[in-house]
C-alpha cells in the first residue's frame, strides 16, 4: 500500500520546522562597543539588530521596527555602527533612524517620503548612504547627512554602491555604473579626496574607464589610506590595489572572491596592508577563508563552506558562516589559535546522521560543462529515487553547499535533490557568468536537462520521476524546461517569469536592461523573445504545474502568474495556484513559506500517485 503524505516517516520534520530553521543573518559590524548583526527570523518576518555582549546576544530592535532596505528592490547594507549609536533603515518607511546602543527608542534622521536609503555608513558624526528617489523617474545618488544638513556627494550616474571612507576621512571611494550595464558586467571605481580647505575635489575614475569590460566591487581602504577593490579583469573577482603608485593585482587564488553583487553591503574581503588581506573565495563551489600575507595563506574554519559579512578586530575574525550540516551562524575565530566559536544560530534542525550532504557535480552539457550539488535521498527505498531539481533565481546568482532546511525537507521524504549552478551562475569566474549572455532560456534549460541525464546515468535517480522547481528567474527556467523539453514529470514556479517582455515593461530600474543582456533587444530580437516566452507556448506544457505568487510582487507582477495558470487550465493541464496577500518578490512570512513547501510536496505526491 502506498504511504500517504500524513503517514510518511519523515512527517516528523514538518514544513513548519523546515521554515523555522531558516533564520538568517546579515551585516556583521564590530567596533569599540562590540559585535552587532542583523537577524531575520521567519516567525515574525522582521529583521532585528542584535548586540553580542557579556557572552550573550541581546536584541535591540523594538517591535514595530525592522532593519531592511529596499534600494534596488533587493536592499542590503541596512545598518551601520556609529560611535555611540546604531544607524539603520526602517523597512516600513525606508527612512534612516538613529538608536542608542542601550536599546532606546529609535529616532528618525530622514523624513523624505519619496526616498529609500541603503548601504549606510557612519563617519565622525555623519551618515553616508545610497539614496533612491522615486519621483517622475527613479534617481540614485550618494548623499551625506551631517549637522549642516544633507549634502550630495555624487550624482549623474545611474547607480551607486559601496561608499567607503579612509580612516582619516580624507578619501571617499565608491562604485558606480550606468545603464545598460549590471553591477556584475561593467562598473567604475570612483574616488574623491579633500583639499587643504576640507572641501571635496572632483571625482576621479581609478578603474573601469580605460578597460571598461570589468566588474569592480567592495572598495576598501587600509590603515594608511591606500585603496583596494575586487576586480574581475583577470577572469575572477580578485583583490587589486594601489601599490607603489600603481594599480596592481594582489597575490590571490585564481577564484572568485565574491558573489554577484545583487545586494548592497557585501563584505567578502577586508584589506589590511599592501601584502595582507582577509578574504573568502570559492573552490569548486565550496568557500574557503584565509588571511593572506604576501604569498602565504593562513586558512581558518575549514569545516564551513560559505562565508559572508566578514569583520575583524585585534583578536577575532567574525563571519556569517554555514556548512553542509550547519545552517547560517554568526561565528568568531580566534586569530592566533584558529579556534572557532558559534555566537548565534547554527542549530541543527535534524540529527547529523539524517542530514543529506552535498556532493559536488560537474557534468557535460551541450558544448560545455555545468556545476551543481547532489543530495541523496534519505531512507531511499529499492531503486533509484525521484529527483527534485532546484533552479536558483537571479539568474546571475548561485547556490551553495550548505545545510538548507528546504532541501532536507525533500530528502527526508525520499526525494533526491540536485541544486544547480547552471551556466551564468556566479562563483566560477567571469567567463562562466557571461555564458548566459543572450542565451537565457537556452543554456540554463540545457544544463537542467543534462543534469537529469547525468544523474540517471550514474544510477542515482529515476529519470521518469524528475521534477523541476525555481523561483523568480528560476521559475522562468522551469517554465522553459517544461515547454521546450520532454524531461520532467511536473514542475513548480515560485513567482516565476512566464513573459519576459511583460517583465521588461513592468520591472524596476535596477533590472531595466537585464532582459536585453539575457535575451536581446525586444524589437530587434522579437523572434527570439517569441521563441523563449513560455506563455506563448503554454500548449507545449503537457505535465502538471503548481504556482506560488506574492500579491505585492513588483518584480514579477501577479498578473503574469495568473495568465500562465489560466492558459494551462484552458489546455486541460492540471495546474494549481496559490496567491499570498502581503507578500512581495519572494515569500517571507513563516506561515506562507510552510504552506508553499507542504503544498508543493503534496502536489508531487499526487503526481506520483503516492
Residue range 315-339: mean pLDDT, rounded: 96
Q: Which residue has the cell 549572455?
A: 437
pTM for the whole structure: 0.93
The pairing of strands 138-146 and 126-134 is antiparallel
pLDDT in tens, 336-380: 999 999 999 999 889 989 999 999 999 999 999 999 999 999 876
Q: Which of 283-292, 304-313, 368-377, 549-558 has the lowest mean pLDDT?
A: 549-558
Q: Which residue has the cell 501577479?
A: 558
pLDDT value of residue 11: 53
CA 236 – CA 434 distance, rounded (Å):
12
pLDDT at 547 over 50: yes
pLDDT band at 9 (very low <50, low <70, confident <90, very high): very low
pLDDT in tens, 243-289: 888 899 999 999 999 999 999 999 999 999 888 999 999 999 999 99
pLDDT in tens, 122-151: 999 999 999 999 999 999 999 999 988 999
CA distances from 11 to 19, 571, 580, 610 (A): 14, 35, 25, 14
Strand order in the sheet with 246-249: 216-221, 227-231, 238-243, 246-249
pLDDT value of residue 10: 53
pLDDT at 597 over 50: yes
pLDDT value of residue 398: 97
Torsion of the alpha carbons at 236, 241, 247 and 252, rounded to the nearest 10: -40
pLDDT value of residue 22: 83
C-alpha cell of 554?
513588483
Number of DSSP helices (H) and strands (E) in the chain, helices first: 10, 36
Residue range 540-562: mean pLDDT, rounded: 91
How many other CB atoms are there within 10 angstroms of residue 229's CB atom? 27
pLDDT in tens, 208-234: 987 778 999 999 999 999 999 999 999
pLDDT band at 5 (very low <50, low <70, confident <90, very high): very low
pLDDT value of residue 1: 33
Mean pLDDT of the chain: 94
pLDDT at 103 over 90: no
SS3 156: coil
CA 19 – CA 406 distance, rounded (Å):
7
CA distances from 391 to 366, 448, 495 (A): 18, 8, 13
* Domain 26-156 CATH superfamily: Tricorn protease N-terminal domain (2.120.10.60)
pLDDT in tens, 38-86: 999 888 889 999 999 888 999 999 999 999 999 999 999 999 999 899 9
Give the per-residue SS3 of 491-555: EEEECCCCCHHHHHHHCCHHHCCHHHHHCCCCCCCHHHHHHCCHHHHHHHCCCCEEEEEECCCCC
pLDDT at 8 over 70: no
CA 280 – CA 485 distance, rounded (Å):
38
pLDDT band at 295 (very low <50, low <70, confident <90, very high): confident
**Which is nearest to 85 in space by CA: 32, 149, 151, 147?**
32
pLDDT band at 504 (very low <50, low <70, confident <90, very high): confident
Class of domain 350-607: alpha beta
pLDDT value of residue 4: 46
pLDDT at 200 over 50: yes
Residue range 107-120: mean pLDDT, rounded: 97
DSSP tag of 398: -
User: Is there a contact between 466 and 374 (Cβ–Cβ < 8 Å)?
Assistant: no
pLDDT value of residue 610: 80
pLDDT value of residue 543: 97
Tell how far CA 125 is from the center of its chain.
Answer: 31
Radius of gyration of the chain (CA): 24
User: Is there a contact between 59 and 73 (Cβ–Cβ < 8 Å)?
Assistant: no
pLDDT value of residue 381: 57
Which helix or strand (DSSP H or E) is residue 586 part of? Answer: none
pLDDT value of residue 585: 84
pLDDT value of residue 3: 44
Q: Where in the chain is the domain with CATH 2.120.10.60?
A: 26-156
pLDDT value of residue 2: 41
Q: Where in the chain is the domain with CATH 3.40.50.1820?
A: 350-607
pLDDT at 394 over 90: no
Which helix or strand (DSSP H or E) is residue 409 part of? Answer: helix 405-411
pLDDT at 492 over 80: yes
Percent of the chain residues past pLDDT 70, beyond the cut = 97
pLDDT band at 382 (very low <50, low <70, confident <90, very high): low
Amino acid at each position: 500500500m502506498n504511504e500517504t503524505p500524513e503517514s510518511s516517516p519523515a512527517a516528523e520534520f514538518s514544513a513548519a520546522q523546515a521554515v523555522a530553521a531558516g533564520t538568517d543573518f546579515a551585516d556583521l559590524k564590530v567596533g569599540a562597543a562590540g559585535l552587532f548583526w542583523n537577524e531575520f527570523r521567519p516567525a515574525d518576518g522582521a529583521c532585528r539588530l542584535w548586540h553580542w555582549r557579556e557572552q550573550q546576544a541581546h536584541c535591540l530592535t523594538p517591535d514595530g521596527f525592522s532593519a531592511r532596505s529596499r534600494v534596488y528592490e533587493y536592499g542590503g547594507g541596512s545598518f551601520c555602527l556609529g560611535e555611540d549609536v546604531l544607524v539603520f533603515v526602517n523597512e516600513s518607511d525606508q527612512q534612516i533612524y538613529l538608536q542608542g546602543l542601550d536599546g532606546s527608542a529609535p529616532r528618525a534622521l530622514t523624513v523624505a517620503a519619496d526616498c529609500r536609503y541603503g548601504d549606510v555608513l557612519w563617519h565622525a558624526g555623519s551618515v553616508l548612504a545610497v539614496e533612491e528617489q522615486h519621483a517622475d523617474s527613479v534617481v540614485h545618488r550618494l548623499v551625506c547627512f551631517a549637522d549642516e544638513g544633507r549634502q550630495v556627494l555624487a550624482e549623474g550616474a545611474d547607480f551607486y554602491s559601496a561608499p567607503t571612507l579612509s580612516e582619516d576621512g580624507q578619501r571617499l571611494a565608491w562604485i558606480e555604473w550606468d545603464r545598460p550595464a549590471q553591477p556584475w558586467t561593467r562598473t567604475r571605481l570612483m574616488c574623491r579626496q579633500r583639499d587643504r580647505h576640507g572641501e571635496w575635489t572632483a571625482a576621479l575614475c581609478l578603474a573601469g574607464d580605460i578597460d571598461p569590460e570589468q566588474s569592480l566591487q567592495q572598495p576598501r581602504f587600509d590603515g594608511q589610506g591606500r585603496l583596494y577593490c575586487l576586480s574581475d579583469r583577470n577572469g575572477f573577482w580578485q583583490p587589486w590595489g594601489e601599490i607603489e603608485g600603481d594599480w596592481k593585482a594582489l597575490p590571490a587564488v585564481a577564484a572568485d572572491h565574491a558573489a554577484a553583487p545583487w545586494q548592497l553591503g557585501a563584505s567578502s574581503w577586508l584589506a589590511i596592508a599592501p601584502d595582507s588581506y582577509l578574504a573568502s573565495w570559492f573552490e569548486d563551489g565550496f568557500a574557503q577563508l584565509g588571511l593572506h600575507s604576501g604569498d602565504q595563506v593562513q586558512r581558518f574554519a575549514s569545516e564551513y563552506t560559505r562565508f559572508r559579512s566578514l569583520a575583524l578586530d585585534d583578536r577575532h575574525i567574525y563571519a556569517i558562516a554555514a556548512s553542509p550540516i550547519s545552517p547560517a551562524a554568526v561565528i568568531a575565530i580566534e586569530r592566533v589559535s584558529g579556534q572557532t566559536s558559534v555566537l548565534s544560530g547554527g542549530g541543527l534542525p535534524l540529527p547529523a546522521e539524517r542530514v543529506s550532504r552535498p556532493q559536488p557535480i560537474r557534468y557535460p552539457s551541450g558544448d560545455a560543462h555545468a556545476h551543481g550539488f547532489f543530495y541523496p535521498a534519505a531512507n531511499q527505498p529499492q531503486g533509484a529515487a525521484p529527483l527534485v531539481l532546484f533552479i536558483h533565481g537571479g539568474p546571475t546568482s548561485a547556490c551553495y553547499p550548505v545545510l538548507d532546511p528546504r532541501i532536507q525537507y525533500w530528502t527526508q521524504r525520499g526525494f533526491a535533490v540536485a541544486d544547480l549552478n547552471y551556466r551564468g551562475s556566479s562563483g566560477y569566474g567571469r567567463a562562466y557568468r557571461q555564458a548566459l549572455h543572450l542565451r537565457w532560456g537556452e543554456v540554463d534549460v540545457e544544463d537542467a536537462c543534462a543534469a537529469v541525464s547525468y544523474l540517471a546515468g550514474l544510477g542515482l535517480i529515476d529519470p521518469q520521476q524528475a521534477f523541476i522547481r525555481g523561483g523568480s528567474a528560476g521559475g522562468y527556467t522551469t517554465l522553459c524546461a517544461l515547454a521546450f523539453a520532454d524531461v520532467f514529470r511536473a514542475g513548480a514556479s515560485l513567482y516565476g517569469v512566464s513573459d519576459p517582455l511583460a517583465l521588461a515593461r513592468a520591472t524596476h530600474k535596477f533590472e531595466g536592461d537585464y532582459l536585453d543582456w539575457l535575451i536581446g533587444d525586444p524589437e530587434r530580437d522579437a523572434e527570439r523573445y517569441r521563441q523563449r516566452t513560455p506563455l506563448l507556448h503554454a500548449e507545449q506544457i503537457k505535465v502538471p504545474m503548481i504556482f506560488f505568487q506574492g500579491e505585492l510582487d513588483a518584480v514579477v507582477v501577479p498578473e503574469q502568474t495568473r495568465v500562465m495558470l489560466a492558459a494551462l487550465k484552458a489546455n486541460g493541464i492540471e495546474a494549481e495556484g496559490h496567491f499570498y496577500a502581503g507578500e512581495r518578490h519572494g515569500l517571507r512570512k513563516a506561515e506562507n513559506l510552510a504552506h508553499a513547501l507542504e503544498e508543493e510536496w503534496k502536489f508531487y505526491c499526487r503526481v506520483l500517485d503516492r
